[in-house]
Structure 1
Amino acid sequence: MAHTIFPREKFSDPRLTAKGDARASVAWHGLKTLWLNTGTLCNIECANCYIKSSPSNDSLVYLRLADVTPFLDEIDALGEGAKEIGITGGEPFMCPEILAIMGAVLERGHRLLVLTNAMRPMMRPRIQAGLEPLHERFGDRLTLRVSLDSHDAALHDAERGAGAFDEAVKGLSWLAARRFNVALAGRMALHEDEADAREAYGQFASRIGLRLEPSNPAQLVLFPEMIAQDDPPEITTACWQILGKDPADIMCASQRMVIRRKGAAQATVTACTLLVEDTAFELGSTLAEATAAPVSLNHAWCASFCVLGGGSCSA
Structure 2
Amino acid sequence: MGVWQAKALEAGRERATHLYMADTNFVPAKFSDPDVTAKGETRASVGWTGLKTLWLNTGTLCNIECANCYIESSPTNDRLVYLTRADVRPFLEEIDGTVEIGITGGEPFMCPEILGIMEDVMSRGHSLLLLTNAMRPMMRPRLQQGLEALAAQYGPRMVLRVSLDSHDPAIHDAERGAGAFEEACKGLRWLGERGVQVALAGRQALNEDDSTARAAYGALAASLGLKLNPADTKHLVLFPEMIARDDPPEITTDCWGILGKSADDIMCANQRMVIRRKGAGRATVTACTLLVDDPAFELGETLAEATADPVKLNHPWCASFCVLGGGSCSA
User: Which of the residues 229, 250, 268 maps onto 1:252?
Assistant: 268
State the distance in 2 between where 1:33 and 1:22 align: 28
Q: What residue is the counterpart of 1:184 in the other structure?
A: 200
Match for residue 240 of structure 1? 256
Counterpart amino acid of 1:110?
Answer: H
Rounded to whole Å, the distance in 2 between the matches of 1:197 and 1:311 is 17
Q: Distance in 1 between matches of 2:303 and 2:62?
A: 27
| Gap runs ≥5 in structure 1 | none
Q: 2:304 aligns with which of 263, 288, 291?
A: 288
Within the candidate set 25, 41, 53, 1:21 is matched to 41
Counting matched residue pairs gives 311
> What are the residue-to-residue correspondences of 1:74-85 with 2, within 5 Å?
74-75=94-95, 78=96, 81-85=97-101
Residues 59-74 of structure 1 aligned to structure 2 (within 5 Å): 59-74=79-94
Task: Tell me what 2:179 maps to.
Answer: 163
TM-score (normalised: structure 2): 0.93
Partner SS state of residue 104, structure 1: helix
- 1:138 paired residue number: 154
Give, in angstroms, the shift of residue 5 of structure 1.
5.7
The answer for the alignment partner of 1:106 in structure 2 is 122
What's the CA shift for 1:267? 0.1
**How far apart in 2 are the matches of 1:313 and 1:89?**
13
1:7-42 CA-partner distances (Å, limit 9, x unpaired): 110111110111110000000000000000000000
Instruction: State the AA in 2 paired with 1:67.
Output: D
- Three-state SS of the structure 2 residue aligned to 1:209 is coil
Pick one of 225, 239, 243 that aligns with 1:209.
225
Match of 1:56 in 2: 76
Query: 2:235 — aligned with what?
Result: 219
5+ long unaligned stretches in structure 2:
1-18
| Equivalent of residue 41 in structure 1, options 48, 61, 67 | 61
1:133 CA drift (Å): 0.7
Give the secondary-structure state (helix, strand or coil) at the position aligned to 2:88.
Answer: helix
Tell me how far 1:4 sits from its aligned partner.
2.9
**1:262 alignment partner in structure 2:** 278
Q: Which residue of 2 aligns with 1:92?
A: 108
Equivalent position amino acid for 1:117 in 2: N
Over residues 183-212 of structure 1, what are the superposed CA-to-partner deviations in whole Å (9 max), with x where a residue is unaligned?
Answer: 001011233311111111001101111110
CA distance in 2, matches of 1:246, 1:140: 31
How big is the shift at 1:73? 0.5
2:256 aligns to what SS in structure 1?
helix
Deviations 1:265-287 (A, max 9, x none): 00000001011111110000000
Q: Which segment is superposed worse, 116-125 or 226-235?
A: 226-235
CA distance in 2, matches of 1:48, 1:255: 23
CA positional deviation for 1:214: 0.4
RMSD: 0.9
Q: Which structure has the larger Rg over C-alpha atoms?
A: 2
CA distance in 2, matches of 1:6, 1:209: 60
Report the 3-state secondary structure (helix = DSSP H, G, I; strand = E; otherwise coil) of the residue aligned with 1:158.
helix
Amino acid in the other structure paired with 2:38 = A
Q: Percent identity?
A: 74
